[in-house]
Amino acid sequence: MSVDFWLGVGVIAGIYGIFVLGLQINVGFTGLLNLGQAGFMSIGAYAMGMLVTDAGWSLWWAMPVAILVAVVAGILVGLPSLRLRSDYFAIATIAFAEIVRYTFQNADFAGGNQGIIGFDQEWRDVSDWLLDRFTRIGLGDETQLPLFLAIWITFFLCLIGLRLLQRSPWGRVLRAIREDEDAASALGKNVFAYKLQSLAIAAALAAIAGFFLSFNVTYLYPSEFDPTFTFFGYAVLILGGFASYGGVALGAVLLWSLMEGLRFLHLPLSTGQIGSLRFVLIGLILILASMLRPQGLLGRKAEMQLRQ
């Protein structure tokens, strides 16, 4: 097992990590069943891709603006749907994610199924410059290393930011909403506004994860962002732990080590079958973890009081 391989696993795990931090603030801390996270991710990534390739922007300007676009999308989705009951909210968000994917697949402006390429030159330059520096310490062959570092540094910055937010009065209100919405609103808190902010933060994190995902695969195509991505995210969430930001890192690394490690078992199966097996495994993890240890590895049972 080479360093290369584990860097690859780390890259995917880190992308999921950032993505799931957003789910964590929604599901773990606000009690919102957001199933549309992949939709925000693709909006962010496509906004960046189109600003660079169609509008000729610099990548470094396109990224913050694309985060804003995702946040606006989060607010637009949240405004009507957050007034719904929690299960209806879940359906509305997955419908949103499917509409987004469907639009990018079929609309003329987004490259359709061919997708978008050639938006990441500026990132490549940075990556090459870093690799150049790494050669001096003998790491020049690890082409994934710059992306790996960028992703995990971003992850920990987001993690610290979210932890600070969570300790603030704002974070305590979120928790209160999760525990008992009516009580929170009886205390004069604007429950709806807090939920909307939670969703907007999740959308921003999804967009950031989307940038890294597109750097990793070097192009953007719609099926990258189908709802399965969100479901994988939930597997990470429940593995790592409910209402625990640190658990997200653990869950992401565990899940992807397991997924990628499968190939070392030398099963007498075709590549397609191993692919299917991975999904079956994720499904089983979701079922078993929810039934046996719903709070996850690092989560606390006392935090599991999601309202009915």
In degrees rounded to 5, what are phi and psi of residue 187?
-80, 5
Short-list 33, 7, 14, 10, CA closest to 248: 14
**Residue 62 or residue 184: which is nearer to other proteins going by CB?**
184
Site membership for other proteins, residue 102 (CB under 8 A) = yes
- Smallest distance, other proteins to C-beta of residue 261, A: 18
- Smallest distance, other proteins to C-beta of residue 181, A: 7
**Residue 160 or residue 186: which is nearer to other proteins going by CB?**
186
Site membership for other proteins, residue 95 (CB under 8 A) = yes
Helical (H) or strand (E) element with 116: strand 116-117
Site membership for other proteins, residue 27 (CB under 8 A) = yes
Q: Which of 154, 282, 299, 303 binds other proteins (CB under 8 A)?
A: 282
Side chain identity at 96, as an amino acid letter? F
Burial of 185 (0-12, 13-18, 19+ CB in 10 A): middle
- Smallest distance, other proteins to C-beta of residue 182, A: 6
Q: Which of 4, 54, 132, 182 binds other proteins (CB under 8 A)?
A: 182
Question: Do the beta carbons of residue 295 and residue 301 sit within 8 Å?
Answer: yes
Site membership for other proteins, residue 290 (CB under 8 A) = yes
Site membership for other proteins, residue 263 (CB under 8 A) = no
Helical (H) or strand (E) element with 128: helix 121-136
Q: Which of 9, 20, 45, 285 binds other proteins (CB under 8 A)?
A: 285
Instruction: State whether residue 181 is helix, strand or coil.
Output: helix
Question: Do the beta carbons of residue 194 and residue 174 sit within 8 Å?
Answer: yes
Alpha-carbon Rg for the chain, nearest whole angstrom, is: 19
Side chain identity at 155, as an amino acid letter? F
- Smallest distance, other proteins to C-beta of residue 150, A: 30
- Smallest distance, other proteins to C-beta of residue 122, A: 35
Write the binding mask 238 to 257 for other proteins: x where contact by CB under 8 A, - elsewhere.
x-------------------
Site membership for other proteins, residue 196 (CB under 8 A) = no
Return d(Cα 284, Cα 23) in angstroms, integer: 20
Token pair 């999601």: residue: 306
**Eight-state DSSP code of residue 26:** I
Within residues 32-91, the interface with other proteins by CB under 8 A covers: 33, 80-81, 83-88, 90-91
Q: Residue 209 contacts by C-beta under 8 Å, 6 or more apart in sequence?
A: 15, 16, 18, 19, 22, 41
Short-list 302, 259, 256, CA closest to 280: 259
CA–CA distance from 175 to each of 194, 200, 300, 305 (Å)? 10, 17, 14, 10
Site membership for other proteins, residue 294 (CB under 8 A) = yes
**Residue 81 or residue 214: which is nearer to other proteins going by CB?**
81
Question: Do the beta carbons of residue 105 and residue 112 sit within 8 Å?
Answer: yes
Which among 38-46, 129-137, 233-241, 249-257 is the span making contact with other proteins, rule CB under 8 A?
Answer: 233-241
- Smallest distance, other proteins to C-beta of residue 242, A: 8
- The residues of the shown chain that bind other proteins, judged by CB under 8 A, are 27, 33, 80-81, 83-88, 90-92, 94-96, 98-99, 102, 106, 181-182, 228, 231, 234-235, 238, 272-273, 275-280, 282-287, 289-291, 294, 304-308
